[in-house]
Amino acid sequence: MQNIYSECTLCHRRCRVDRSVKVGFCSMPDRIYLSRAALHHWEEPPISGTRGSGTIFFSGSSLGCVFCQNREISCGRIGKEVSVMRLAEIMLELQNQGAHNINFVTPTHYAPSVREAILLAKDMGLSVPTVYNTGSYDTVEALRALDGVIDIYLPDLKYYLPKTAEELSGAPDYPTVARLAIAEMVRQTGAPVLDGEGIMKRGTIVRLLLLPGRVAEAKLSLKYLYETYGDNIYVSLMSQYTPMPGMKSPLDRAVTRSEYRDLLEYAERLGVKNGFTQQHGTASESFIPPFDLTGV
């Protein structure tokens, strides 16, 4: 899988560039760049638990959403180069700090290195589950190479309509690509497995970030997920959208209380049981940790 970097097709941009000499859409070379590695308490309860999730934030992004809350790292402006061995060591350091799991955030463009580092870390004593926290623009081939290495998938389903995906991420094929990617993830993990304390050991949690003015589209995504997977996955209904400076209406405001309530009531009418919600009013930059190279 390492050779994929020489003609990169790790995501559906399929740039086919040799990342040892040139960068593609994600703006990142074949060397790993990280912006932060620390315990994080803002994930879903079975991921954060009581001690926190060992999150490792990668620099760069293959989607480049216009509303991205992690813009400073998604553009690759912040990051420190680390070796595969150092990435494995970081996993062990987070495990030693008490992390319930190791959570790779936006790992798509580094999938082969993540796989290699996990295998090394396991040889060195890594025993907590691994979490692949992705925007879901991964190719199915790239995900297949992670089968047996990743325990938990935490994918977004950002858009239902190609038009929205084009407008906000320049990726009209995103809805189709993300559905195929999520199907592969669920195939790998099977139904959710939680321990006696409610901490997830295996499974898939799909995140739906409600965008302002787009409740109808979020309902279509939720309906699709529930009709396709029922209670074989968890769905996380997120209201934390935080407008970044310069956004145009309606993306220049937070989600209203009534928009979020509308989505929650719809989930209830559908009969969704395996779901997570957020307390309204939590839309703040507190969800965005400082990308100051902590733990790197």
Binding site for ligand SF4 (CB under 6 A): 8-11, 13-15, 17, 19, 24-26, 62, 109
* Choice between 22 and 261, CB closer to ligand SF4: 22
Cβ at position 177, least distance to ligand SF4 in Å: 11
Q: Which of 152, 141, 139, 134 minimizes the C-alpha distance to 188? A: 152
DSSP 8-state symbol, 157: -
Cβ at position 17, least distance to ligand SF4 in Å: 6
* Choice between 14 and 253, CB closer to ligand SF4: 14
Cβ at position 166, least distance to ligand SF4 in Å: 16
Which residues are bridge partners to 207 per DSSP?
Answer: 156, 236
Cβ at position 90, least distance to ligand SF4 in Å: 21
* Choice between 111 and 208, CB closer to ligand SF4: 111
Q: Provide φ and ψ at 234, rounded to 5°.
A: -100, 150
Q: Are the CB atoms for 179 and 26 separated by under 8 Å?
A: no
For ligand SF4, which residue has the nearest CB?
A: 24
Who contacts 99 (Cβ-Cβ below 8 Å, separation ≥6)? 39, 51, 52, 53, 54, 128
Q: Are the CB atoms for 87 and 116 separated by under 8 Å?
A: no
What the block records as the tokens of 22 is 């040139």
Cβ at position 156, least distance to ligand SF4 in Å: 16
Q: How far is CA 288 from the centre of its chain?
A: 14
* Choice between 15 and 296, CB closer to ligand SF4: 15
* Choice between 16 and 257, CB closer to ligand SF4: 16
* Choice between 141 and 252, CB closer to ligand SF4: 141
* Choice between 111 and 185, CB closer to ligand SF4: 111
What span, in angstroms and rounded, lies between the C-alpha atoms of 42 and 20? 35
What span, in angstroms and rounded, lies between the C-alpha atoms of 151 and 132? 8
Could you tell me whether strands 193-194 and 275-276 are parallel, antiparallel, or unpaired per DSSP bridges? unpaired
Neighbours of 129 (CB within 10 A): 20
What span, in angstroms and rounded, lies between the C-alpha atoms of 166 and 89? 39
- Residue type (1 letter), 16: R
* Choice between 29 and 289, CB closer to ligand SF4: 29
Neighbours of 20 (CB within 10 A): 10
Cβ at position 27, least distance to ligand SF4 in Å: 8
Cβ at position 23, least distance to ligand SF4 in Å: 7
Cβ at position 92, least distance to ligand SF4 in Å: 27
Note if the bond before 162 is cis, omega within 30 degrees.
no
